A and B are shown apart, each in its own frame.
Chain A
């Protein structure tokens, strides 16, 4: 029995999710941090929903949405010829939505902590908005980025309910480590469940510890 297969799949899923969330979460977090639009509370609520919803509820709607008859799923079938549900790609989409608040909120907090004048100074010194974002905002929000990325990575790694609902249990495709552990417990294979659980425990500990050590070093530079 291979315990590293499911772990590796989990890591791949977490890496893909984190990368996508960095790309789409950053502009959303920036918009939320700067806007005074009356739509802001609604957008914030939607972003925060996955924190409070049971994964089964989220998973259920995603199953319908991503299924071959769903809005996104049918379009995917037309595009690629295969279904999104019970596939790795489907898992990535589900994970992105599920882990979104964990990526966005730390970044948004970091952006909001930047004095407005810092930006205005960059603009009056000739930096365009994009230039100012990369030359001033990003270097001063490193903590927020690291926090957002580590949390969404770790959160995706520990995902269970949503994967079960939209991904099922296909080895090498959707059988991530949390599902594998659940399987082993169901079949009373406690030895294998132990090994995997311990592995995940250690991994999560190291990742989070790494983040907190980094934060500490960063602050005391």
Chain B
């Protein structure tokens, strides 16, 4: 899995005591936006065969942003591959270091590490809130999740929120 928000969400749901399958569903739903990125990138990259299989794994927020910001196709392709390869290597190297280093750390709460994921999610969310509708949806989603939380197993509030927002998106207007 190479798509940051999904990775954080998977770990977050399990860390909160949720079922791994609720974590998997949340991760997959968060990953759906990559399909839209792929649709936009397809004509820019025009990759076929094995190259498409490799390029697919690199379709994420950052590579899409870098690729569509160029106005020449060859620069777009270069931006996509350069960003993708650099991020993929460093991200996974960082993940490996983190996985190995946690054993050397004391109680994560002492370092405030339990407050780090929400801060990270907020940093990922903020750029998507530049209009009134997403802002309202963000607050409504947070409220629905908190209302549902005491009554359903951990991780399930996120799935309830996902179902509601899909119904909203498909039905309105």
A, B co-complexed? no
Using a CB–CB distance below 8 Å, which chain A residues touch chain B? none
